[in-house]
Chain A
Amino acid sequence: MPGYVIKRHVKDSFKSLKRNGWMSFAAVSAVAVTLMLLGIFLALILNVNRLSNQIENDVRVRVLIERGTTAKEKTALKTKLGDMAAVDSVTYSSRNQELKQVVGHYGQAFGLFAGAENPLNDVYVIKAKRPTQTLAVAKAAKQLPHVAAANYGGNQTKQLFQVVGTIRLWASGLMLLLLLVAIFLISNTIRITIMSREAEIGVMRLVGATNAYIRWPFFLEGAWTGLLGALLPIVLIDIGYHWVYQRTAAEFVNFGYTLASPGQFLSLIDGVLLLVGMLIGAAGATISMRRYLKV
């Protein structure tokens, strides 16, 4: 298609978008709400899947040492841990090393906690011989003196999966409903555009415009509606995810796991939202064109 034709279609589609005013606004809002939910849902599910993978393959038990434990007591603890039958290795990691790891994973924001401000514990990282033994090792370690906590993945996994299963079900239902509302609203604005341009369409047909030519502006109007609807959720989710990521980073690292880091992950979600937005718009436009733009 030559440039001047594309330009004409784009101009045309923006004109009707503007002319439809509040109808367009309602359609854009519906898309925005739908995509917001989709974005949150995606961020949640993808991270949960990531975590459960990390957890399932994890043979580690992280034994958090109480603050104020002396070096001698620590050595005694290490020996006891190493004596357990299911334990393969015991490695010491000081609070400062732990912090470095956090900073490495989550960026400089955590550098602020250096020195006395460091909220983390010294840790013995135990490797069990097999993933199935982590529960027994953690339980035994918890009984030993100077142990603040013994964390391992398995115990959280089950709960996590239950919660996620429920969320997935409800969110899918709600999203489907919102998707339909969004498509309906878009198809309705396109219907109005088609009606208001009936005379023009009649003349176009009379002088030999192809169907494709007649359809393009309506199709584009739908697509813009979807794209505009995607912009707000993208911005909000990008900001929101950065915020959640920084807030929760310390917790997750204490367990030895990481959330998906924002850069690539958010580009993926943004891409999905843009694509779904355009698809919703195209679907809405197509529905109305099928019904009201009969050849």
Chain B
Amino acid sequence: MIQFVDVSKKFQRKTVLENINLTVQQGEFVYIVGPSGAGKSTLIQLLYRQLLPSKGIIWVNQFDLTKMKPQGIPYLRRELGIVFQDFKLLPKLTVFENVAYAMEVTEKKPALIRRRVLEVLKEMGLANLRHRFPSELSGGEQQRVAIARAIVNRPSIVIADEPTGNLDPETAAGIINIFEAIHRQGSTVIMATHNHQMVDRRPHRVVEIVAGQIVRDQAKGAYHYAGIRH
């Protein structure tokens, strides 16, 4: 479960998020939408304790992020899978190695790593690309590798910041299917996105942020608000 209680974030004097109250239950799928500069990425970074709030409390599963010591951060992140617009793959490692990396650095056993990585690569339709390097892949394939890396440790929450931002619509649709599959397996999915076609075609809970404040929180929303504003 994720819970934001009266969370504000300031950079120097500038308020980027103001009094955010948000609860996400385990297994939900949430789109975070809003104009550029609204604070979506800031919210995401607060979630994985890349940033600390200036005010308020954030809970992620059993972790109180505002009270957590820096030594605790790795253990928070092992329960999260994080995906970015720019993939963040390591160029000198193959597809297999990139995915295995997440298990290696969290000290999993080699035999387990081999088995689990192959399993995830198969799920992602990447098994036959496993010896390629990121530079030898299309954008969609690279993003699939990044997602594979994010979920290989079976996180309870998958966080994505504009995962389709660099992809053409058709490829983006494929990526969304993957997130939906992950969601169906029981993970929470939090996705910041500008992709309205996707939000409209695959309706889930929508949280809209404008100028640092939540202006809409709708159970099965569309990208643009169609109802009556309160």
Name the one of A5, A203, A209 contacting B74, with C-beta atoms under 8 angstroms: A209
Task: Mark interface residues in A50-75 (1 if CB within 8 Å of B CB, else 0).
Answer: 00000000000000000000000000
Q: Is B106 an interface residue (CB 8 A)?
A: yes
Are B153 and A207 closer than 8 Å at their CB atoms? yes
A4-B109, A207-B106, A209-B105 in contact; A202/B74 too (CB < 8 A)? no
Contact B90 A199 (CB under 8 A): yes
How near does chain A come to B176, taking the closest CB pair, in angstroms? 22
Size range of the chain B interface in the assembly: 20 to 34
With an 8 A cutoff between CB atoms, is B101 at the interface? yes
Which residues of chain A from 190 to 214 have any CB-CB distance to chain B below 8 Å in the complex? 199-200, 202-211, 213-214
A155 → chain B, closest Cβ, in Å?
A: 65
How long is the Cα–Cα vector from A142 to B71 in the complex, in angstroms?
77
Q: Which of B55-90 contact A (CB under 8 A)?
A: 70-71, 73-78, 80, 82, 88, 90
Q: A199-B90, A203-B90, A208-B78 are in contact. Are A2 and B71 (CB under 8 A)?
A: no
Docked-complex contact A208 and B88, CB < 8 angstroms: no
A8 CB–B CB distance under 8 Å: yes
Contact yes or no, B71 A204, CB < 8 A: no
Given known A-B contacts A199-B90, A210-B74, A204 and B105 have beta carbons under 8 A apart: yes
A295 close to chain B: CB less than 8 A: yes
Tell whether, in the assembled complex, residue B105 and residue A207 are in contact, meaning their CB atoms are under 8 Å apart: yes
Q: How many Å lie between the Cα of A2 and that of B153 in the bound state?
A: 19
Distance in angstroms between the alpha carbons of A202 and B105 in the assembled complex? 12
Complex contact B71–A211 (CB within 8 A)? yes
A295 and B70 within 8 A (CB): yes
Q: What chain A residues lie within 8 Å of B43 (beta carbons)?
A: none
Tell whether, in the assembled complex, residue B104 and residue A208 are in contact, meaning their CB atoms are under 8 Å apart: no
Give bound CA distance, A195 to B149, whole Å.
23
A5 touches B75 (CB 8 A): no
Contact of A208 among B109, B110, B153 (CB under 8 A): B153
Question: Among residues 79 to 137 in chain B, which have CB atoms less than 8 Å away from a CB atom of chain A?
Answer: 80, 82, 88, 90, 101-102, 104-107, 109-110
* A295 partner residues in chain B, CB cutoff 8 A: 70, 73
Contacts of B82 in A (CB 8 A): 206-207
Instruction: Check B104–A8 contact: CB distance below 8 A.
Output: yes
Closest to B107 in A: A5
- Within 8 Å CB of B88, what residues of A? 199, 202-203, 206
Contact count band on A: 10 to 19
Answer whether A4 and B110 are a contact pair too, CB < 8 Å, given A203-B90, A207-B101: yes
| Shortest distance between the CB of A229 and any CB in chain B (Å) | 29
Chain B contacts for A209, CB-based, 8 A? 74, 105-106
On chain B, the residues within 8 Å of A208 by CB distance are: 74-78, 80, 102, 105-106, 153
| Residue contact B77 to A205, C-beta cutoff 8 Å | yes
What is the bound-complex CA distance between A5 and B48, given in angstroms? 25
Cβ–Cβ < 8 Å partners of A214 in chain B? 105
In the bound complex, do residue A213 and residue B105 qualify as a contact, i.e. CB atoms below 8 Å apart? yes
| Chain B: minimal CB distance from A214 (Å) | 8
Given contacts A207-B77, A208-B78, contact A2 B90 (CB under 8 A): no
A213 touches B107 (CB 8 A): yes
Which of A2, A207, A210 is the one whose CB lies under 8 Å from B102? A207
For B150, the chain A residues whose CB sits under 8 A away are 207
How far apart sit A5 and B78, CA to CA, in the bound complex (Å)?
17
A70 to B163, CA, bound (A): 107
List, in ascending order, chain A residues with CB within 8 A of B109's CB: 2, 4
Q: How far is the CB of A272 from chain B (nearest CB, A)?
A: 35
On chain B, the residues within 8 Å of A204 by CB distance are 101, 105
Q: Mark A1-22, 1 if CB is under 8 A from B, else 0.
A: 0101100100000000000000
Binary CB contact string for chain B from 33 to 68 against chain A (1 if under 8 A, 0 otherwise): 000000000000000100000000000000000000
User: Smallest Cβ distance from B156 to chain A, in angstroms?
Assistant: 13
Closest to A206 in B: B82
Whether A200 contacts B70 by the Cβ 8 Å rule is no
CA distance A208 to B106 in the complex (A): 6
Query: Measured between C-beta atoms, what is the minimum distance from B95 to chain A in Å?
Result: 14
CA gap between A259 and B124 in the complex, in Å = 73
Q: Which residue in chain B gives the minimum CB-CB distance to A2?
A: B107
Question: How far, in angstroms, from A210 to B74 measured CA to CA in the complex?
Answer: 6
CA of A210 to CA of B82 in the docked complex: distance in angstroms? Answer: 17
5 contacts between A and B (CB under 8 A): A205-B73, A207-B149, A207-B153, A208-B106, A209-B106
Q: Which 3 A-B pairs have the closest CB atoms?
A: A208-B77, A208-B78, A209-B105
Interface residues of A (CB under 8 A from B): 2, 4-5, 8, 199-200, 202-211, 213-214, 295
Not counting A199-B90, A202-B88, a sample of 18 additional A-B residue pairs whose C-beta atoms are within 8 angstroms of each other reads A2-B109, A4-B110, A199-B88, A203-B88, A203-B90, A205-B73, A205-B74, A206-B88, A207-B105, A207-B149, A207-B150, A207-B153, A208-B77, A208-B78, A209-B105, A211-B71, A213-B105, A295-B73
